[in-house]
Amino acid sequence: MTTRLLEVKHVTKRFGGLAAVSSINMAIDRGELVGLIGPNGAGKTTVFNLLTGVYVPTEGTIHFDGRLMNRCKPYQIVRAGMARTFQNIRLFRQLTARDNVKVAAQLRCRCGLISSLCRTPRSLANDRQVNQIADELLDVMNLQDVADARAGDLAYGLQRRLEIARALATRPRLLLLDEPAAGMNPQEKVDLMALIQKIRRDFDLTVLLIEHDMKLVMGICERIYVLDYGQIIAEGAPSRIRRDPRVIKAYLGEEYGDVESDTGTGFSVRTEV
């Protein structure tokens, strides 16, 4: 068994004449925690959508665990072991937090339509099992108190955590997190960092995350890809990325500031200026 979990080769996605992502290469090994950063509009979410089957690549190949995933439907990719969260949270808002997780947990349980319609012992046993999986995950994500609240009514930070819980319920091997810290306050971000590290350890996960918060990215990622105008412009350990002139140029423009001395969130703040 190779250690390579995800391999993206020369993947291009064009919308009409616009190449949102052009000829990118990425390789992620089992157990890694990799970051994907880049200025707004660089194509980060497009990469996620390509990986998860929302878009079909115009060119190139995506291998997950040795299997070619190019033409797979999103649900097939999830079943193969790749789960994601969304930048703009997409929960099932009218359902309870527990039911949100149960939708995902049901995936790993074998119980058919007829059995459910007839309410056979098998379907009841399945329901109990799914319930249990959901409750365990809600516990892990510290959401047990709001298990019966409607997902749409939860506070923002809780919704983000619930989305991760839902993704975990599909029992992924690779977890894709699209800006998990967006809209969180500094304390929540610190907690989130710890949480990501914890679930990665406990669930034996490989994680790829998109994030704007440099403190978070630099803090937890072992390796970082930098995307700009649809192309990977740099790749490597956080310390190298921080010094890479192309990255500095993409974020800050040329001849601007001493990035090395910047250790905090200032990096991302200044890009907004």
Partner 1 sequence: MRFWVNRLLGVTGALALLYAISVWATENLQEYYFKVIILCGIYIILAVSLNLVNGITGQFSIGHGGFYAVGAYVGAAWTVLWQPEAARALPLLQLNTLHGHIVNLLIALMLGAFAAGCTGFLVGLPSLRLRGDYLAIVTLGFGEVIRVVLLNIDAVGGARGLIGIPSLVQSGNLGFFWVFLFVVLLIAISRNLLQSSYGLAFLAVREDEVAADATGVNTTRVKVTAFVLAAVFAGIAGVLYAHFFINISPDTFDMNTSIIITTMVVLGGSGSITGSVLAATFLTAMPELLRDFKEYRMVIFSTLLILIMLTRPQGLFGHGELGYATFQRLIRSGRGKTL
257-to-166, 218, 245, 248, 261 alpha-carbon distances in Å: 41, 19, 12, 9, 9
Residue 100 CB, nearest approach to partner 1 (Å): 8
Residue 42 CB, nearest approach to partner 1 (Å): 22
Report if residue 205 touches partner 1, rule: CB under 8 A. no
Among 11, 78, 196, 210, interactor with partner 1 by CB under 8 A: 78
Among 22, 45, 46, 52, interactor with partner 1 by CB under 8 A: 52
Q: Cβ closer to partner 1: 34 or 130?
A: 130
Among 27, 111, 149, 190, interactor with partner 1 by CB under 8 A: 111
Residue 122 CB, nearest approach to partner 1 (Å): 10
**Bridge partners of residue 208, in order along the sequence:** 34, 176
Q: Cβ closer to partner 1: 30 or 171?
A: 171
Q: Cβ closer to partner 1: 26 or 91?
A: 91
Q: Cβ closer to partner 1: 96 or 268?
A: 96
Torsion of CA 164, 170, 176, 181, to 10 degrees: 0
CA distance 213 to 168: 23
CA distance 86 to 177: 7
Residue 47: partners with Cβ closer than 8 Å, 6 or more residues away:
21, 24, 26, 36, 227
Residue 86 CB, nearest approach to partner 1 (Å): 7
Residue 52 CB, nearest approach to partner 1 (Å): 6
Instruction: Specify the 3-state DSSP secondary structure of 264.
Output: coil
Check: CB of residue 77 under 8 Å from CB of residue 52: yes
Among 1, 3, 18, 117, interactor with partner 1 by CB under 8 A: 117
* SS3 assignment for 99-129: HHHHHHHHCCCCCCHHHHHHCCHHHHHHHHH
CA distance 245 to 58: 30
Q: Cβ closer to partner 1: 87 or 265?
A: 87
Report if residue 113 touches partner 1, rule: CB under 8 A. yes
Residue 212: partners with Cβ closer than 8 Å, 6 or more residues away:
37, 179, 181, 182, 268
CA distance 218 to 119: 50
Among 116, 144, 197, 231, interactor with partner 1 by CB under 8 A: 116
By CB under 8 A, the residues from 79 to 108 that bind partner 1 are 79, 83-84, 86, 90-95, 99, 102-107
Report if residue 161 touches partner 1, rule: CB under 8 A. no
Cβ count near 9 (within 10 Å): 15
By CB under 8 A, the residues from 129 to 148 that bind partner 1 are 130-131
Q: Cβ closer to partner 1: 176 or 193?
A: 176
Residues that bind partner 1 (CB under 8 A): 52, 54, 73-75, 78-79, 83-84, 86, 90-95, 99, 102-107, 109, 111-113, 115-119, 121, 123, 126-127, 130-131, 166-167, 170
